[in-house]
Structures are given as C-alpha cells and as structure tokens.
Amino acid sequence: MKRANIPIFIPHRGCPNACVFCNQHTILGVVGTPALEILLARARAEIETALTTISPDTMCEIAYFGGSFTGIEPDLMEALLGLAAEYVAAGRVSSIRCSTRPDYVGDAVLDRIAPYPVGTVELGVQSLSDAVLFACRRGHTAEDALAAIARLRGRGYAVVGQMMLGLPNSTFADERETAERLIAAGVDAVRIYPTLVLQETQLADRMAQGKYSPLSLDEAVSRTADLLDLFDQADVEVLRVGLQETDGLREPGTVLGGPCHPAFGELAMGECFYRRAEKLLQGEIPCGADVTIAVPRGRTSAMIGQKKKNLSRLCAKFGMKTIKVVEIDTLLGYNIKIVHNRKEERNPCI
C-alpha cells in the first residue's frame, strides 16, 4: 500500500532552545506564531486540501512537524491532536505522527498524548556524541536521547531518529557511531540532514569568525552514502536525506554555507549505488564486457547518476564498453546484481 504524510508545520512554537544551527522560521518560510484558533483553522484547511490530492488506497498520516510538538502549550497540543483524531475516527487518515526533542517525551507528556491515535514519534537526535551536542547547545545528552527512544518504544510508538552531519565538533566517526547506536536502539526509520549554515544563527556567526567550516558537497555526499549503506544493511528505512527545499530556503542570502543542493538526496543515493556496483564488479572482473546491472524498481536514475557519472566511472575503472541498467521487483533498498554479462559468457576473463 502507498504511504503519505500530510505535514502541518508548527514553527518554533514552544521551543525555548536555541540550537546553534536552527532558524526554524527560515527553514519553514513562516514568521510568527499565530493564535490557537488560527492555527487550528489553518491545519484543518491544509488537511482538507491535502486529502483531495491523496488517493483513497493510500495509508496516510497527519504529521505535526517543526518546533517541538510535545513541548508546545498542552491546550494547543491537545487541540491539534483532537483535530487529527477526528480524521482518524472518520477513517480518512490512519494515524498521527509528530516530531519533537528527546527531552520532551517524559512520562507526563506521553500520558497526555496516550489517548490520541499517535503512531509515530520523530526525535531530533542530531548526534549521539555528547561533545557534539554540547557544541550545538542542544541542552540534552546522548543518554537522554537513547532513554527517550526506549521510553517511546516501550509505549508502542514507532520511532524515527533524525540525525545531522557536519555539526560543530562532529567527525565522520561520530556520525557513523550515531547511526550504529540508533540502529542498536531499535529505531524504525531515520532522516539524515547535512548541516546548512542559515542566516541569523549562531552557526553563521561562528562561520564568519572562522570557528566553523561546513562540509563541502562532496564530503556530505560521501558521508551520507556511507550511512545509507549502513542503514540499508540493518534494514532501517531512510525516509529523507537533506532538508526539503522551501521558499524560505530558496531566498537569496538564506543559506550562507554548507552542502545545499536541490538534488542532494539523489546525489547521495547515486553514490551509494556506485559503491555497491564497484564492489560487485570487483568480484565479477568483467574486463571489457557489456554488463547489465539490475536495481530495485524506481532506482535507475540513482544507479546511472547525474549526467551518467556513475556509469562513466564504472566503465573507466573496469574497462567496460557499456553498462545497461534494468529494474526488477525482487530487489529492495540498495541491493543490485549483475543479470547479464555477454562478453563474460562468450569469453570469461582470466
């Protein structure tokens, strides 16, 4: 069955924190925090509009994103949950999802949301290195995040871990360890966000003072590709790579640094496929052959790469003339295989 979210953004509402990288108003393209009635009316209108575009055979969730949903005023939180619950009760959506911080899912707030049909909680973990969390002024520790995941899983929620790459003080070893610990903690899915330097953030000031250097596009693509491979092997779905481009982000002068690219996810997926193909072909030693590589459905463009970069690199490295890419239903994730290798059949390499 197809799946879809109806995202409702509640910008910065209830968030007293000031993480060094965050400027929610810029990310979401929204300024100010309207009154409860206005927020509710807007949310209802957005849900109704979205439902007209979603086919009835889609499993659909109402998703409260932005800010820290379980940290907003209890009356507003329950009003928004009540609104979404109406749609679940009417069978128009299947459940509710919300995003929040690891230190905002204590037992008291979880008791409050328990009567509502919330199925998934997304946690802004960002890093599981205390040194990185401290440098980012997150205001919670790695242990808080792991305890939050355990508490949510214990109450039966699906948990999505959101992590960031290229944060201050963060090395790739920290990021890989964060991914490994998220897997070990039993998250159901993840989102990966390379750090962008947004205007009017502490990170922008640090960059201007020469105290922070963002990742280059190539570094970020390489690190993300490695994590995609890791999560795929652990069977943990990656729901998204890179921030969604909003009008706010597109405004000139908004993104001051970092790996901002409209097709960042595609680049990282392409790199992951390239590495899988490289490994596979090393075993095959095709040696001048014409090769056909099978990929999961819908992944041809990621395997080929932008401007056919992946195919050119593979042909150059292994001395092949052509590589054809086909899709087959039985492959999932980043699994690929060679289904046809004519030269090898006629004249095996030695």
Contact between 31 and ligand SF4 by CB under 6 A: the answer reads no
Phi, psi (degrees; rounded to nearest 5) at 151? -65, -45
Residues that contact ligand SF4, how many (by CB under 6 A): 11
For 38, the token pair is: 């206005």
Question: Taking the mean position of all CA atoms in its chain, how far away is CA 201?
Answer: 22
Least separation in angstroms between CB 22 and ligand SF4: 3
- 101 vs 299, which CB is nearer to ligand SF4? 101
Least separation in angstroms between CB 16 and ligand SF4: 8
- 63 vs 289, which CB is nearer to ligand SF4? 63
The β-bridge partners of 2 are: 58
Q: Please list every residue from 90 through 149 that binds ligand SF4, using CB under 6 A.
A: 101, 124
Least separation in angstroms between CB 334 and ligand SF4: 29
Contact between 13 and ligand SF4 by CB under 6 A: the answer reads no
With contact defined as beta carbons under 8 Å apart, do 259 and 215 qualify?
A: yes
Contact between 17 and ligand SF4 by CB under 6 A: the answer reads yes
Letters for 46-75 (x = contact with ligand SF4 by CB under 6 A, - = none) are ---------------------xx-------
What is the secondary structure of 190-226 as a DSSP string?
EEEEE--EETTSHHHHHHHTTS--PPPHHHHHHHHHH
Piece in contact with ligand SF4 (CB under 6 A), picked from 10-18, 195-203, 214-222, 294-302: 10-18
Q: SS3 of 299, please?
A: coil
- 17 vs 301, which CB is nearer to ligand SF4? 17
In three-state form (DSSP H/G/I as H, E/B as E, the rest C), the secondary structure along 6-43 is EEEECCCCCCCCCCCCCCHHHHHCCCCCCCHHHHHHHH
Give the total residue count for the chain. 350
- 159 vs 272, which CB is nearer to ligand SF4? 159
Nearest-10 Cα torsion for 211, 212, 216, 219: 110
Out of 8, 15, 227, 243, point to the residue binding ligand SF4 (CB under 6 A).
15
Q: Which residues bind ligand SF4 (CB under 6 A)?
A: 12, 15, 17-19, 22, 24, 67-68, 101, 124
